Amino acid sequence: MFKTYVADTDDVRKSLYRFRYDVFVSEQKKYRNIADHEGRMLIDPVDEHATHLCLERDGQIIGSMRFLHGLEHVPPAWHVNLALEKFAQFPASHFAFSGRLLMLPAYRGSRGLLDLIRFAYQLGRSAGSRFDFISCNPHLVRFYEMMGYRRYCAYYEAPGLGFQVPMVLVTDDIPHLQGIGSPFTSLANDFPIDSSHGKWFVDTFPQYQHFISPVTIGPSAFAEVLERKINDASISLFDGLEPTEIATFLSTATHLEVPAQTRIVQQGQLGEEMFLILEGIAEVRRHLENGRAQVLGTMGRGDVFGEMAVITERPRSADVVAQSPLEVAFIDRSSLLKLVKGEPAVASKLLFNLCRLLSERIEMREASVS
């Protein structure tokens, strides 16, 4: 059985900070510049003012999450990156910030993860929050969309984390939660509901209501939209795949529109996503020991990047920067593994094509050096 609770003693919080270090720093290679390596703990200034949630099984912490209520202790960078000025008309009590969500690998995707997130939702609503803000890596966008969070402002790059997607949950927007089948729907009915918040959100961020998402329009319709976008392009990744097999792959993907000059992939970081360019131009750059950057090439419609890090689980070998507004579809490692298990015929063709593409790139780089 899973147990959720608030870390309300110094000893429990220290255990939680050590748990964070083990997962974020040791496993995922994140936050190394701010971690306490001697004490093997991961702490930052926000932690002092936040509420920390724990998920436990058999006396062991297997998951945790951080919850910050109000605006008093929100760092200046959060105001900018989360575009909080757009929400200035609302009282501080309406704001909540969730983050530092992590689970031991064996429990990712388990019922315990849902228990922890639902516990956080109840805590926020009890405190009076109407907007819960997060920032996440691209591979988590689909998961948070299934919870009810929505993209609403520009993406940004965070030190040590790379490309981040801001999202917000309008906690009492019942029509939206019901429409996507959010697990928060039944909990929302236990708290005061003000339908004006959902309407205000749609009216305030109309430019972000057109996102193509399998969560809002369904996997089949989503795949059809992406198929239309790539219909006139030669996509080497799909060589040998039947239309139904391509649709199966696309239904597991996530769609992003990226502004020009955005660094999507950062050299040296671990990667969870493999990207397919639907529209636009991207430049591949490698940082040299002398501090300068070497341009390795450009990519356009139909090209794939990020696949090596996904397959090998090694750090990214180069930066990829959008040279123009870029439209991409991507699949993360977890979705790819599910495809291998559930649709082995489709996955085998995709992996064969990826191997061929990687071989071609190696040959081209060797030729450019000789």
d(CA 131, CA 110): 26
The pLDDT score that the predictor gives to residue 369 is 52
Distance of alpha carbon 262 from alpha carbon 267, whole angstroms? 14
Which of the pair, 287 or 52, is modelled with greater confidence?
A: 52
Same domain, 71 and 129: yes
The percentage of the chain sitting over the pLDDT mark of 90, rounded to a whole number, equals 56
Instruction: Answer for the pair 123, 132: CB distance below 8 angstroms, yes or no.
Output: no
Give pLDDT, residue 61: 95
Query: What pLDDT score does 46 carry?
Result: 96
More confident site: 368 or 179: 179
Choose among 89, 316, 330, 81: nearest CA to 212: 330
* Residue with more model confidence, 130 or 248: 130
> Residue 300: which of 323, 275, 316, 277 has the closest Cα?
277
| pLDDT, position 117 | 95
Over residues 253-296, the pLDDT tens digits come to 999 988 899 999 888 888 889 999 999 999 999 888 777 888 88
For every residue of the chain, which 3-state class applies, written as one string? Answer: CEEEEECCCHHHHHHHHHHHHHHHHHHCCCCCCCCECCCCECCCHHHHHCEEEEEEECCEEEEEEEEEECCCCCCHHHHHHCCHHHHCCCCHHHEEEEEEEEECHHHCCCHHHHHHHHHHHHHHHHHCCCEEEEEECHHHHHHHHHHCCEECCCCEEECCCEEEEEEEEECCCHHHHHHHCCCCHHHHCCCCCCCHHHHHHHHHCHHHCCCCCHHHHCHHHHHHHHHHHHCCCCCHHHCCCCHHHHHHHHCCCEEEEECCCCEEECCCCCCCEEEEEEECCEEEEEECCCCCEEEEEEECCCCEECHHHHHHCCCCCCEEEECCCEEEEEEEHHHHHHHHHHCHHHHHHHHHHHHHHHHHHHHHHHHHHC
Cα angle value 182/336/284 (rounded, 5°): 105
- CA–CA dist 109, 130 (Å, integer): 26
> Structure pTM?
0.89
Confidence of residue 360 (pLDDT cuts 50, 70, 90): confident
Structural domain ending residue among the three candidates 206, 223, 252: 206
Average pLDDT, the chain: 90
Q: What pLDDT score was predicted for residue 233?
A: 58
Host domain of residue 296:
214-369
Tell me what pLDDT residue 320 has. 94
Q: Do 249 and 330 belong together in one domain? A: yes
**Domain finish residue from 181, 206, 231:** 206
| Axis-axis angle for helices 243-250, 344-369 (nearest 10) | 80
Q: How confident is the model at residue 42 (pLDDT cuts 50, 70, 90)?
A: very high
Q: What is the pLDDT of residue 18?
A: 96
Do 45 and 191 fall into the same domain? yes
* Domain edge (last residue) among 206, 229, 250: 206
Q: Count Cβ atoms below 10 Å from residue 112 Cβ, excluding itself.
A: 21
The answer to whether 352 and 299 have CB atoms below 8 angstroms apart is: no
pLDDT of residue 231: 67
* CATH code for the domain in which residue 193 is found: 3.40.630.30
Residue range 105-115: mean pLDDT, rounded = 91
Residue 364 clears pLDDT 70, i.e. is over it: no
265 and 175 belong to one structural domain? no
Count how many domains the chain has: 2
pLDDT higher than 80, residue 178:
yes
pLDDT digits (tens, 9 = 90+) for 338-351: 899 999 999 999 98
Same domain for 127 and 36: yes
Cβ 357 vs Cβ 365: under 8 Å: no
Tell whether 118 and 235 lie within a shared domain: no
Whether 222 and 201 share a structural domain: no
- For the cut 70, the answer to whether the pLDDT of residue 366 exceeds it is no
Query: What CA–CA distance (Å, rounded) separates 20 from 150?
Result: 26
Q: Torsion angle of alpha carbons 319, 322, 328, 332, nearest 10°?
A: 20
Provide the pLDDT for residue 284. Answer: 92
Question: Do 136 and 220 lie in a common domain?
Answer: no
Percent of the chain with pLDDT over 70: 96
Q: What is the pLDDT of residues 205-240, one digit of tens each?
A: 987 766 788 888 888 888 888 888 876 556 788 888
Instruction: Compute the C-alpha angle 172/177/181, nearest 5°.
Output: 155
pLDDT at 356: 85
Residues 198 and 298 in one domain: no
Indicate whether 34 and 180 sit together in one domain: yes
Q: Are residues 222 and 202 in the same domain?
A: no
Q: Which pLDDT score, from 0 to 100, does residue 131 have? A: 98
Distance CA 157, CA 110 (A): 30
The whole-angstrom separation of Cα 109 and Cα 139 is 14
Q: Is the pLDDT of residue 246 over 60?
A: yes
- The closest alpha carbon to 253, from 164, 137, 151, 139, belongs to 139
Q: Is the pLDDT of residue 368 over 60?
A: no
Sequence-separated (6 or more) residues with CB below 8 Å from residue 207: none
**According to the model, what pLDDT value does residue 365 have?**
63
Task: State the CATH number of the domain containing residue 314.
Answer: 2.60.120.10
pLDDT per residue as tens digits for the range 289-320:
777 888 888 999 888 998 887 788 788 888 99
Distance (Å, rounded) from C-alpha 353 to C-alpha 338?
Answer: 18
Same domain, yes or no: 364 and 226: yes
Nearest to 145 by CA among 238, 208, 57: 208
Among 19-23, 202-206, 357-361, 362-366, where is mean pLDDT lowest? 362-366
